[in-house]
Structures are given as C-alpha cells and as structure tokens.
Amino acid sequence: MKSHLQPFIQYLTEDKGLSSSTLESYGRDISQFLEFAAGRGISSPDEIRRTHLLQYLAELRGAGRAAATVNRSTVSLRAFFHYLLKNRQISQDPTLEMDKIKPSKKPPMILSIGEVERLLAAPDETGPQGIRDKAMLELLYATGIRVSELISLDVGDVQTGLKYARCSSASGKERIIPIGTIAADSVARYTDGMRDKLLRSSREEPALFLNSLGGRLTRQGFWKIIKKYAREADIEQDITPHTLRHSFAAHLLEGGADLRSVQQMLGHADISTTQVYSGIARKNMKEVYESHHPRA
C-alpha cells in the first residue's frame, strides 16, 4: 500500500506548496497507519474502513500520544483518503464524519528574566560560531520571531544601525520588528567580521546565519544549539526555540506593553492568540506583588 504514499506527497508538494516539515509530518503519519493496516492483513486502501481508523487512533491514545498528535494524524489521514478518492483509487472515503479530539491547552513555557540572561550569556564569544550563536539568541529574544523566520533571514534583513529586523512568515506576510541595542550590537559584531570566517570563499550565500559549511543554518541545527546552551545555563526546563518567543511576549506585557503591539510584533492574525500571554503576565505580577508588598 505504501506505493500510494509517494504520489500523494508529490501532489502536496506541487499543488499545495506545503513546507518540508509539514510534508514530513504527513508522510510519517500515513506511513505509520499503513504499517498498522498491513499488520491486520489489509493489502489495499480500498479495504480500509472507518473502524480501522478508529482502532488506530485509539491505539495512539492508548500509547499516551497527545491529543494534538492524534488530531494531526487525523488531518493527515483525511487528506490522504480524500486524495485517493479524488483519483478514483478507492470507492469510499473512510474518514468521513470522524471527530476531532479537543486538545487540552497547556500554558506556554516562559523563562524567567534571570534564566534568559543566563542563556544569552552562555555562548563562548572567542570564536565565530560562539559570536554567531550569541547574535541568534539575542535576536530571537529581542524580536520574538519564529525559528523558521530566524534561519530564513538574509544579510540585508537586519539593519543594525536603524535597529529593525524584517522577516516573513510561512504565509509570506512581511513584518518589521524593532530590535534593541544589545541585539543590534551582537548582530553587527557577527556580520562585521565573523560571518566571513564561516562563509566559504568559493560560494555566494545570502543567508545571515551560516553553518560550519558556509550554508544556511537549518532548524535542526538551531535546535541543537539552543539545547546545548540551555544545559550550560543550568536551565532545568526542556526548552525549545519557541520558548524564547513565548518569553519575549510575556516579558513585554509584564513591562507594560500593550497587547496590540505585541500581537503585531509576533505576527499573530488573531489577537486571542496573543491574549494567553496577558494571563501569564498578570499571574507573574501578582507573584511579584505578594513577594514584595509589605501588606500583601
């Protein structure tokens, strides 16, 4: 049955223009289900019924998978069987009327200001890679941009003299974000001499942040970098690049920034997405009040 998977991924690539990470998720979700089905003696997608899908999703839940993971698998399977039906490779769509699981929303992980300072101080700035890492971490915390937006930056997208960064979301929508003096100075120090040491002389590369081979740094590369510095900074939480985005928003609101401005800097289409940080900020202010006010 896996012979149907590659044409489907090709269809998503050419007709839907999905990102490589989304394509990987679709491929992984569907491949795992097809292995499940094959283990039950099913040799053709047309033999698959709604009960098989429900059994598979129940197995995922029984294995402790998060509701968001089960929902993502459901979305992947719906798209796959819709594609097969559209191309007349099955006679009926077994995913019809399948319900989504309502995910339990966890509050975003926020670092304290002290933890952020330790993380930003972790890189060894005696060499080009450490100076690059310092610039990336400072810029991520200064702007709240996503890691995908960070690694997509080209040299001209960060104007250190004017103190702004220009980035584009996955949907192609561009936004301009102010950056502070410390982040601007860190990026300038990297671009003024250290970037050339990472760039291979024989190649032209527009990317701002380069890997050790002189090419654009990848998401996976940055994940390894931030995990390394989290360990060195003795941060016990299992942080991700998004943790700095969450912390950026919460710390701005704690400092008195208005919600609409934070929404614009984060690039949220709906202000309700930004409001979750407002609740965290109010909670933290209450803790500060109770810890420091003499009559709290």
Q: pLDDT tens, 135-148?
A: 999 999 999 999 99
Query: The tokens 């993971």 sit on which residue?
Result: 69
Residue 286 has pLDDT above 70, yes or no: no
* pLDDT surpasses 50 at 290: yes
Measured over the CA atoms of residue 87, residue 93, residue 94 and residue 95, the dihedral's sign is: positive
**Paired residues of 210 in beta bridges:** 216
User: How far is it, in rounded angstroms, from Cα 187 to Cα 171?
Assistant: 26
Residue of 163, 260, 267, 151 whose CA lies nearest to 210: 151
Residue 186: count of CB within 10 angstroms of its CB? 26
**What secondary structure does DSSP assign to 21-59, as a single string?**
HHHHHHHHHHHHHHHHHHTTT--SGGG--HHHHHHHHHH
DSSP, collapsed to helix, strand or coil, labels residue 121 as helix
pLDDT level of residue 296 (50, 70, 90 thresholds): very low
pLDDT at position 182 is: 95
Distant-in-sequence, close-in-space partners of 3: CB < 8 Å, separation ≥ 6: none
pTM: 0.62
Provide the pLDDT for residue 43: 86
Q: Specify the higher pLDDT residue, 236 or 132.
A: 132
CB 45 within 8 A of CB 1: yes
Q: Compute how many other C-beta atoms are within 10 angstroms of the C-beta atom of residue 45.
A: 17
Cβ atoms of 274 and 268 within 8 Å: the answer is yes
Query: CA distances (Å), 238 to each of 119, 123, 255, in order?
Result: 13, 18, 25
In the three-class reduction of DSSP (H, G, I as helix; E, B as strand; rest coil), residue 164 is classed as strand
Q: In whole angstroms, what is the distance from residue 265 CA to residue 143 CA?
A: 7
- Number of Cβ atoms within 10 Å of the Cβ of 125: 17
- Residues 81-101 have a mean pLDDT of 84
CB-count burial class (<10 Å; 0-12, 13-18, 19+) for 31: middle
What's the rounded Cα separation, in Å, for the pair 68 and 65?
Answer: 8
Helix (H) / strand (E) element for 167: namely: strand 164-168
